[in-house]
Structure 1
Amino acid sequence: MSGDERLRRRLTDFVKAEAADKGFDLCRITGPDSIPDAPPRLADFLAAGYHGTMDWMAETEARRADPRVLWSDVRSVVLFGMNYGPEHDPRAVLAMPDRAAISVYAQNRDYHDIIKGKLKEVATRFAARGGADVKVFVDTAPVMEKPLAAAAGLGWQGKHTNLVSRTHGSWLFLGSLFTTVDLFRDEPERDHCGSCRACLDACPTDAFPAPYKLDARRCISYLTIEHKGPIGPEFREKIGNRIYGCDDCLAACPWNKFAASASEMKLVAREELKVPAIADFLALDDLGFRAHFSGSPVKRIGRDRFVRNTLIAAGNSGDRSLIAPCTRLADDAAPVVRGMAAWALCRLMTPSEFRQFAAGRADDADDDVRAEYERAKADGR
């Protein structure tokens, strides 16, 4: 082995050892040229409109499709995985109509901050050891981390389009380190999904037009997090009590049963977010929302979108004790809240109660809110 190869080996081993020391469960390496199928797949996804209102995906298409466009000097891409698997099946809360379901990843502190901090520690020590330039990314940058992670051997992209690991199932946070050093690469992981379609069949809204293809416009995670306006009536009942994200396709993956125990760095779910009461969230004003979700990824969608989601859960609950808080929200300053309050009350009240309630509100100044009352009237309410 030449001197250059010995240095490459030392640096390769060093970055993996640092990753383990900082609490990452997996660390593998690939090159910036390892995902040739990603650009056409991304182009097809965008052309079909599957990205919905996430315009930033189209705006960053070139950089997203090829790491070398994002940074021309990159020679190696180091992928990191952290297990965030729940202790129990997160779908259990779906059978509790008075409770709200929050996606497993959002029951913890914001993983972006924690993982990026750990990655920066690894990057700093690696750059000092190798004299190399480095950049670190966690989800928010235009990096196709899932295809890169598959190319590096962390796992494979399952039929639900998420990464699946033989050792950690479908529960992995991902981060990446780009470097100018030419490190030794790991072998990619092959697809182990076989004929299984558990994740596809688990989707409440049929968001998978085909295996390995996701139409985000139908995905509950997209609808409750990314989508800003009223959520279409055709999805509301199917959303159930999911107020932030959806774990159904992840939780259905059979590979979860082989998942190893989480690392010591595993993020611990906040107790009050495991099975929270819908009623508590309906009472949140903007200040209360910010305080309650301080340090949480939920905070980024804002109070109005969050209450919109919670009102859908209220409407699906059948719990008449929620009529009072929903009535108060029917006069909220935010149109998206008023509209969903009307929908929730239409489902919780008797027809006569709702007609009496709607009589003074059907002339709302907002088009979308008026449409909710008109739709209820057309349905015989």
Structure 2
Amino acid sequence: MTEQEGHAIVEQLQRWGDELGFSQIGVADVDLSDAEAGLLDWLDKGFHGEMAYMQSHGLKRARPQELVPGTVRVITARMDYLPRHTAANWRSHEWQRLHTASEAVVSVYARGRDYHKVLRQRLQQLAERLQQQVGPLGFRVFTDSAPVMEAELARRSSQGWRGKHTLVLNRQAGSLFFLGEIFIDMALPLTAPTSSQGHCGSCQACIDVCPTQAIVAPHVLDARRCISYLTIEHAGPIAPALRPLLGNRIYGCDDCQLACPWNKFATTSRLPDFDARNGLEASSLAQLMRWSEADFMQRLEGSPIRRIGYERWQRNLAVAAGNALRDNALSASVRAELLHNLNAWSVTASTLVQEHVDWALQAS
């Protein structure tokens, strides 16, 4: 393959990617050796919390050629997920909901269809198109589904830079996008990396706004304090000291993204998959607390939320309800409904849920 042929293939990949709904396609090298020290330091400090899989794979995360033998390049892809009909003032609206204790706030990315399924299917189609064009090709598709340093590969292939909140930022699209990869055994030309220094300058809005101060230093996240980790990855009781800091966030947290100036450029998705379902963009705590386990399973079919299970869903809602009950601005009618729901849960609650229900009821 000549250099000219290689560049032509990359350009074709970018056209196919656009047709499939991707926002950008790049090509990264597999040598991530200079990122290994930072990964090991983060793991040694225990910042990964209970995410044992982060440690069990060791340095495979920084060595794509060990994860998938024969890999010589990684095709990287990003896909915007801000829902199609999002209003221009969406960030102000999200802040308002966060400051309305009776609301139930779900992270924007999780309000629609499970991104794992959306990206995986389209990455597979992209890889198959490439295979049809070039002939036999060894490839494997990933979407947040294996030990892959997604953000680092994205930076090295011109997708953006690592913000101080550790998410990838793009000058034209902010940070509201998903990442995916195709490991291939074909030496395609690389796309230019984005500067590791990025374009955050002296801004630390994301650090300052984090409710739990989980961003312990620029580019360093202690997941054990992160609300996204606590409400999604963490399986046990949420520490009492952290519960008040969760506010009304019941699945994930977007505060660092809402505060980031670059997200004034956040781009809406072209796909209907990420449109909000089941009213998750505007639901109250009382509404969601009325869902039975059967409702939870049926309504959230195809949603990333379903994977936490009904028990953690109840745990998170109980914490949010307790925080709402501690808000003096809460109306008497909403207060009464939240108390009714919490007391009703006590009849059948698991030990985990009951602990958080009891904590919430202490506010009454």
Fold agreement, TM-score > 0.5: yes
- The question of 1:127 aligning with 2:131 is answered yes
Larger mean Cα displacement after TM superposition, 203-212 or 317-326: 317-326
Change (3 A) 1:283 1:253: same
How far does residue 260 in structure 1 lie from its aligned partner after superposition? 4.1
Q: Deviations over 1:63-106 (max 9, x none)?
A: 11211111121111111011113521133311221110000000
Q: Aligned partners of 1:333 and 1:267: how far apart in 2?
A: 32
How far does residue 264 in structure 1 lie from its aligned partner after superposition? 4.7
Other-structure match for 1:71 = 68
- The question of 1:108 aligning with 2:105 is answered no
Other-structure match for 1:139 = 144
- The question of 1:278 aligning with 2:276 is answered no
Q: Aligned partners of 2:268 and 2:109: how far apart in 1?
A: 16
Q: Aligned partners of 1:227 and 1:207: how far apart in 2?
A: 15
**Higher radius of gyration, 1 or 2:** 1
SS of equivalent to 1:209: strand
Match of 2:171 among 166, 171, 174: 166
Other-structure match for 1:357 = none
Other-structure match for 1:375 = none
Other-structure match for 1:85 = 82
Q: Aligned partners of 1:314 and 1:96: how far apart in 2?
A: 12
Other-structure match for 1:368 = none
User: Any stretches of 5+ residues in structure 1 without a counterpart?
Assistant: 350-381
Q: Aligned partners of 1:7 and 1:94: how far apart in 2?
A: 51
Larger mean Cα displacement after TM superposition, 258-267 or 310-319: 258-267
Q: Aligned partners of 2:242 and 2:276: how far apart in 1?
A: 28
SS of equivalent to 2:190: coil
Other-structure match for 2:20 = 22
Q: Aligned partners of 1:336 and 1:273: how far apart in 2?
A: 24
Alignment check: 8 A CA contact 2:103 2:248 kept: yes
AA at the equivalent of 1:94: L
How far does residue 12 in structure 1 lie from its aligned partner after superposition? 1.6
How far does residue 252 in structure 1 lie from its aligned partner after superposition? 1.0
Larger mean Cα displacement after TM superposition, 91-100 or 230-239: 91-100
SS of equivalent to 1:273: coil
TM-score by length of 2: 0.91
How far does residue 17 in structure 1 lie from its aligned partner after superposition? 1.4
Match of 2:337 among 321, 330, 335: 321
Other-structure match for 1:249 = 256
Match of 2:40 among 40, 43, 55: 43
Other-structure match for 2:331 = none
Q: Aligned partners of 1:265 and 1:344: how far apart in 2?
A: 37
Q: Deviations over 1:89-142 (max 9, x none)?
A: 133311221110000000011011011111111111111211221111000111
* 1:253-272 superposed matches below 5 A: 253-264=260-271, 267-270=274-277, 272=279
Q: Aligned partners of 2:353 and 2:52: how far apart in 1?
A: 24
Other-structure match for 1:201 = 208
TM-score by length of 1: 0.87
SS of equivalent to 2:129: helix
Cα RMSD over matched residues?
Answer: 1.4
Q: Aligned partners of 1:64 and 1:265: how far apart in 2?
A: 32
Larger mean Cα displacement after TM superposition, 298-307 or 184-193: 184-193
- The question of 1:62 aligning with 2:66 is answered no
Q: Aligned partners of 1:239 and 1:293: how far apart in 2?
A: 22
How far does residue 251 in structure 1 lie from its aligned partner after superposition? 1.3
SS of equivalent to 2:279: helix
Which structure is richer in relative contact order (CA contacts within 8 A, separation 6 or more)? 2
Q: Aligned partners of 2:43 and 2:308: how far apart in 1?
A: 23
Alignment check: 8 A CA contact 2:113 2:273 kept: no
- The question of 1:330 aligning with 2:346 is answered yes
Alignment check: 8 A CA contact 2:118 2:273 kept: no
